[in-house]
Amino acid sequence: MLRFVFPGSFDPITLGHQEIIERALSLCDELIIAVGENKEKKNMFSLADRMDFIRNTFQNTSKIKVASYEGLTIDFCKKVDATALVRGLRNPADFEFEKSVAQTNRKLSGIETVFLLTSAEHSFVSSSIVREIILHKGDFSSLVPKAVRLT
């Protein structure tokens, strides 16, 4: 069984994340969306809200599981017997950072990383941009799935 893990804070999930998730589904038998919890990081949305956004967005997709984790992503991957990690790339800066993380993960655990390029339509979207728009009461509806817009 090919079990992939797509880790992130998803604070909140964006249409860019949704696109990567939908495309990754064709590559694996099961996709675990792993919502990272870092007690030292100040999130806009609670862990429960972030997980609910994802569950509601993919409620009709049986190949998707949603889980939370703390600590190293590779430790979570070992725990769930993951085949590979999935990471989305929006730009060259993402690639440089993610390449180093992927090489370290492979060195420490043997787990591979599958990179998917975000489409041009979503390449500018990030959770931090969405949070900034929400903070200033702007219209973020075209950047996130419906489940987030209902908040």
Q: What residue ranges in the chain does DSSP mark as E strands?
A: 3-8, 30-36, 64-69, 84-89, 112-117
Residue 17: active-site member: yes
Candidates 50, 87, 90, 122; catalytic one: 90
Candidates 41, 42, 136, 137; catalytic one: 41
Candidates 9, 50, 122, 127; catalytic one: 127
2 exposure class (CB count in 10 Å sphere: 0-12, 13-18, 19+): exposed
Residue 3: active-site member: no
Candidates 9, 17, 50, 122; catalytic one: 17
Residue in 84, 19, 33 with CA at minimum distance from that of residue 63 = 33
3-state secondary structure of 146: helix
User: Is the C-alpha dihedral spanning 62, 101, 41, 77 positive or negative?
Assistant: positive
Residue 41: active-site member: yes
Residue 127: active-site member: yes
103 exposure class (CB count in 10 Å sphere: 0-12, 13-18, 19+): exposed
Active site residues: 17, 41, 90, 127
